[in-house]
Amino acid sequence: MENLKVLITREQIAARIADMGREITRDSAGEPVIFVGVLKGAAIFLSDLVRSVGLDATFEFIGVASYAMGQNPAEQRLAWDSTGEVRLTKDVDQSLREKNIILVEDILDTGLTLTFLKRLLLGHQPRSFRVATLLDKPLRRKLAIEADYVGFTIPDEFVVGYGLDYAEKYRNLPDICVISNIL
């Protein structure tokens, strides 16, 4: 049976997001910003982050999937460890040309997803492009890419909750937990 252990509490998450919001507000100094959330994992983080900034902010969602990703946990675990190619499942609904973009990710792991999305979004020729990720697992990085705003740097463990899933489960847990006893 899967086992869950709290790594980051809801209170720690809330406090850190308040800090990130202040940082983003300061850096963007009165400019309008479009937050682009990566489905589905970043939806909960985005909803808290946008309410912590004092800016003229709007948001969009973009969807990606790994080609190796299947429905069952074994395949998902495989996808997590693969060099999996990324594909777009939902594009943004507007042109981002000349806009200030902040891409919002749940977790930066190998860097494959972010590298793919950065290239795609830079193709829109935005005015500025920055990345905010709630979690960062630098030990797993395969491609050299970093976020501008990082909530928490965590060890090489599989985590769930606060938007993050294991086979689509546990996204609604309010705390971020390490899951063990998975394949």
13 binds ligand IMP (CB under 6 A): no
Catalytic residue among 19, 93, 109, 148: 109
Applying CB under 6 A, which of residues 33, 49, 104, 110 lies at the interface with ligand IMP?
110
Backbone angles phi, psi at 144, to 5 degrees: -75, 100
Q: Which tokens belong to 154?
A: 């965590």
Q: How far is the CB of 143 from ligand IMP (least distance, A)?
A: 8
Cα–Cα distances (Å) from 57 to 21, 36, 52, 120, 175, in that order, read: 12, 11, 11, 21, 26
- 112, containing H or E segment: helix 112-122
Which of Mg ion, ligand IMP, none sits in contact with 106, Cβ below 5 to 8 A by type? ligand IMP
Applying CB under 6 A, which of residues 17, 49, 50, 109 lies at the interface with ligand IMP?
109
Which of ligand IMP, Mg ion, none sits in contact with 46, Cβ below 5 to 8 A by type? none
Question: Active site includes 109?
Answer: yes
- 45, containing H or E segment: helix 43-50
- For tokens 């190619």, name the residue: 85
- Cite the active site residues: 109
- By the criterion CB under 6 A, which residues form the site for ligand IMP? 41, 80, 105-114, 158-160, 164
